[in-house]
Amino acid sequence: MPALVIVNPTTWPAVAPPPRIAVAVAPEPTSEILEPPAEIEELIEPVAAVEPELPVEPPPPVRQPVRIGLGLRKTRENFLARIRAALTGSAKIDEIYEGLEEALIAADVGVDASMKIAAAVRAKLGNDNRPDAIRDALKAEIATIMMSADRAPADSGDAPLVIMLVGVNGVGKTTTVAKLAARLKAERGSVIVAAADTFRAAAIEQLEVWCDRAGADIIKQSQGSDPAAVAFDAVKAAVARKTSTVLIDTAGRLQTKVNLMEELKKIARVVARELPGAPHETWLVLDANTGQNALSQASIFGDAVPLTGVVLAKLDSTAKGGVVVAVAERLKIPVRFVGLGEAIEDLREFDAREFVDALFATDDAGEQSSSGSYAA
């Protein structure tokens, strides 16, 4: 049996206490939303909100220009009916040509012009009374008159083209200016409109609205200001800005008002002083419904300022479209534009050959033969 050894407890070797174990305690749940640190926030890219796709609307349909055949419908129906009656109503030469003269006068070609046209046709055909031959000769004679008055528009070179528009009250002059502005801006570039109608109440405001639609700049002063000063400022601004075209809207004037006609002369003088050669064009705006009275207006306006062209407004609303022929025969100046509607894009450049073709066309052909080059 082994010997029992008694060890003194105080002599036991020291034993290291067991290591302390750290226990992670889960935090208590909280209702607060914790935000990420700023340095992490910078790295987080915001997610764009996804918007629902909207249905794509189709573009509005392109408005087709008014055809000259449609615009001349009233004139053509009246004119051709009388021509047919003259050619088929009698076999006698004298009665046929009397009927032709009456048909031309009724269309507002004018007495003198109607007699000259009928005499020219008769001299060409002699005793030939065939309706087709007379009709073709009449058409050719009217075309000759229209073409003889035609001439190329003015060329201002590198300078702005300055066009002054004149006319009596109520012919559609202000709206014609705006339509011209829209057309010339599309064809030539920037346009400045001079609001030189400082007499009529609200004329400047009306022109501002139209210029806004046309995208044209406007130079204006207060009502009652000197119209020549407005025109001068417009031309000066156009030269400085290198603007392509200047349109000068003048006050509607009765051709019997001498002082107002003198104002037109002053505008022309002042504009020419700022830009030699200006105004390069002076166009008389006429209402086609006035018929032969338009020639009286043209004669007196022509005494005040040299007219270089005519804009014939409201041609679509009259049966007196023959005044176009009267203007060419009497005044020997070209018709530049004609009005076949009220929309701003309805201003159409006048084409003499197209006009004559539409005037003599049958109803179906008159509506389909012309794409139109006419409005105001």
Q: What is the structure's pLDDT at 233?
A: 97
Calculate the CA 45 to chain-centre distance. 51
Which of 167-200 are b and which e, b meaning 16 or more Cβ less than 10 Å from the residue's Cβ?
bbeebbbbbbbbbbbbbbbeeeebbbbbbbbbbe
Q: Which residue has the higher pLDDT, 233 or 12?
A: 233
Q: Identify whether the C-beta of residue 339 lies closer than 8 Å to the C-beta of residue 347.
A: yes
pLDDT digits (tens, 9 = 90+) for 183-230: 999 999 999 999 999 988 788 999 999 999 999 999 999 988 999 999
Q: What is the pLDDT of residue 366?
A: 43
pLDDT at 368 over 60: no
Q: What is the pLDDT of residues 137-195, one digit of tens each?
A: 999 999 999 999 999 999 999 999 999 999 988 888 988 999 999 999 999 999 999 99
| Six-digit token string for 345 | 């894009």
User: Would you tell me the crossing angle of helices 227-241 and 258-274 to the nearest 10 degrees?
Assistant: 20
Give the pLDDT of residue 48.
52
Instruction: Single out the residue of 346, 268, 341, 335 nearest to residue 298, CA to CA.
Output: 335
Residue 307 reports pLDDT greater than 50: yes
Q: What pLDDT does 260 receive?
A: 79
Q: Which helix (H) or strand (E) holds 146?
A: helix 131-148
**Rounded to an integer, what is the distance from CA 261 to the centroid of its chain?**
27
* Digit-coded pLDDT (tens) for 109-129: 989 999 999 999 999 999 999
pLDDT at 295: 86
Measured between alpha carbons, how far is 308 from 349 in angstroms, rounded to an integer? 15
Residue where the block lists tokens 């009397």? 98
Cβ atoms of 195 and 202 within 8 Å: the answer is no
Burial class (CB in 10 A: 0-12, 13-18, 19+), 263: buried
| 246 phi/psi in degrees, rounded to 5 | -120, 130
The 3-state DSSP class for residue 169 equals coil
Average pLDDT for residues 41-55, to the nearest whole number? 55
- Span 336-352, mean pLDDT? 87
Quick one: pLDDT at residue 373? 38
